[in-house]
Structure 1
Amino acid sequence: MVIRVGSGMDKLREMEIFVAIVERGSFTGAAEKVGMSAAAVSRAVNSLESRLGTHLLARTTRTVRPTDAGMTYLEACRKVLDTITDAEADIAADQLNPVGTLTISAPVLFGQRYVAPLVNAFALRYPDVSINAVYVDRTTRLLEEGVDIAIRVGHLGDSSTFAVPLGFVRRRTYAAPSYLAAHGEPLHPKDLTNHHCVSFTGVSPPLEWVFNEKGSRLPVRLQPRMIVDLGPAAVLAAVDGVGIIQLLSYQAAPEVADGRLQPVLTSFEPESIPVSLLHVERRSTSGKIRAFVEFVTGTLRENAHLQGVDATATRTSR
């Protein structure tokens, strides 16, 4: 059978190539993924852009990124390709046995403490699902980065995703008992100007921490002794007595439970921060995504540290 240029099969291949370029960020990376030469990938994109009459990719010497038209087309491509993939998966396997590759992202410490054990259990329960787990302290873009599931700690603003609420955490201020014994305990946020502070950039701006006083926002300018961009290292600095630190409540939970950190300035805590599970709405019928959402939601919602329970309340049970 002779396939004419512009046939349905060629269009699907062009879609696959275009999506691969965006996800890999280069023509070379896309060529490796789809099993073609970089030149063939380039020809396919040129043909696609010529057929559509618009530029889909903005190219520089270092980067390749989708244009506005490219982002719109990317969504359409993924919808078509996901529909085909899910249809094939439904035929190949019963919904009780989902198949495919599932990409999951979560913040580093949250992922280590609460998500990774569930991901491991899910992998054992569903052996036909391959998992790509990405633990990173930044906001992942589900559509552009090809992420199926994202655990998000923070207020949401992405209308292209569906959010499953899991609970909430709080931004709290902590210090090691050894630090408080040596330097005393601050009674008001403004007292922090006379204390050593460790700023974790994943939670607060390094030079300004925010509190709440009588319902009003209270910013406090700091000159921190240490600025850290990695959660575990920031927690360790506080435990070692380097200074007072602001963390999200779950990040300090084990250290508070065993007495290595204790909350301070508790009457000045800002409002709670939601924790959500996100996935793209068009993928909600995917067996692998539905299975994972159902597998983890109940457990995370029962996690005391996501329901406003102070970590000190769990000390005797740990």
Structure 2
Amino acid sequence: MDKLGTIRVFVEAAMHQSFVAASRNLDMSAPVVTRAIAQLEASLGVKLFNRTTRNVRLTDAGERFLSDMKHLLEDLEHAEAAASGSYVNPKGTLSITAPVLFGQKYIIPIVTEYLQQNPAVSVKAVFYDRIGNMLEEGLEVAIRIGYLQDASFYATHVGNVRRVVCGSPDYFAKYGIPERPADLVNHKIIMASTVESSTSWKFMSSSGKEIVKVSPHLDCNQNGAAINAAILGCGVTRLMSYQVGEDIKSGKLQKVLVEYETEPLPINIIHLEGRRATAKIRSFIDLCVERLRTNPFIH
């Protein structure tokens, strides 16, 4: 294996802290990865990893070498992209991520339009309701809901969402409409655990923060299931406004306790800082911004 190939193996193993993960991601056998690391350490005359039977960890020298090699590979990727015209014409594979329902409802239509406009690009779309590590997972663009904790991203704000309490009109006709948060203790609660991880629901009023301890009648780990249950009259749920916007507009669901809603959460499109955005990234973000900023359910 040449020096550049060995460096790529090292970076992959270091990022995942696993020779096995590196072999899987690079489509190599574990012994080949192990030999490549051993050859690199021998050529440098330093130990890059501390190995145990369970895992591998970078040494201090390995940490410094990883920082340098990441920059080297990044510069190489930029040079290759520039030479191939990727900074001018959208091409290659674009990897994106978003929350599950947001991706299904709003990102897939944008992706479809984008692919029609850019036939030289293919898209890998990964939707999950968690915050993943973009670098480790090889993701180039992410739609994030909530306040950003990492300043090492380029971020473009496209809208806001709120947590809304809702149920079906039939349910409220039968059980009554809660007039204040404390009334929820007398209602059947559908818990959407990816939106509300705690049974202590926070609300805001003119007198400040108010917390209500709810007892779920139905606990769902999928937001779509909680929405369907609410539409069928199973109870009251609390979800993000974008998740139920279309159902509220159609009359399938009805919002309540609007005056007690908490502060809105921002929606941002992010990509990694330090990487000059290629044409495929820039053009996708531009289209997302244009479409999402006119979406009535995220404002």
TM-score normalised according to structure 2 size: 0.88
Query: Residue 40 in 1 paired to residue 27 in 2?
Result: no
Query: Structure 2 CA distance, aligned partners of 1:252 and 1:166?
Result: 18
Structure 2 letter corresponding to 1:278: I
Taking a change above 3 Å as real, the CA distance of residues 302 and 199 of structure 1, as seen in their structure-2 partners, is: same
1:159-197: CA deviations, max 9, x gaps?
Answer: 221211111111111011111011101111011111110
**Corresponding position of 1:181:** 173
CA RMSD of aligned residues (A): 2.7
AA paired with 2:255? P
Instruction: Kindly state the Cα deviation for residue 210 of structure 1 after the two structures are TM-superposed.
Output: 1.1
> Is contact 1:206–1:224 with CA below 8 Å preserved after alignment?
no
Q: Deviations over 1:266-295 (max 9, x none)?
A: 110000100001110112332322222122
* Residue from 85, 89, 94 that aligns with 2:81: 89
Aligned to 1:262: 254
Aligned to 1:228: 220
Q: List runs of 5+ in structure 1 lacking aligned partners.
A: 4-8, 308-318
Correspondence 1:1-318 to 2 at 5 A: 10=3, 12-21=4-13, 26-48=18-40, 51=44, 53=46, 55-56=48-49, 61=54, 76-93=68-85, 95-214=87-206, 216-307=208-299
Summarize deviations over 1:40-60 as a string: whole Å, max 9, x none: 201223444563845557766
Q: Determine if contact 1:211/1:218 at 8 Å carries over to the other structure.
A: yes
Number of positions where the alignment pairs a residue of Structure 1 with one of Structure 2: 298
Identity over aligned residues, as a percent?
36
TM-fit CA distance, 1:304: 1.6
Shift of 1:67: 8.1
**Unpaired runs of 5+ in structure 2?**
none
Q: Does structure 1 retain, via aligned residues, the 8 Å contact 2:87–2:278? A: no
Q: Letter of the aligned partner of 1:250 in structure 2?
A: Y
Q: Indicate if the aligned counterparts of 2:88 and 2:278 stay in contact, CA closer than 8 A.
A: no
> How far did residue 34 of structure 1 move?
3.3
Distance 2:23 2:128 in 1: 27
Using the size of structure 1 for normalisation, the TM-score is 0.84
**Matched position secondary structure for 1:203:** coil
Kindly provide the amino acid, as one letter, of the partner of residue 225 in structure 2: A
Q: Secondary structure at the match of 2:219?
A: strand
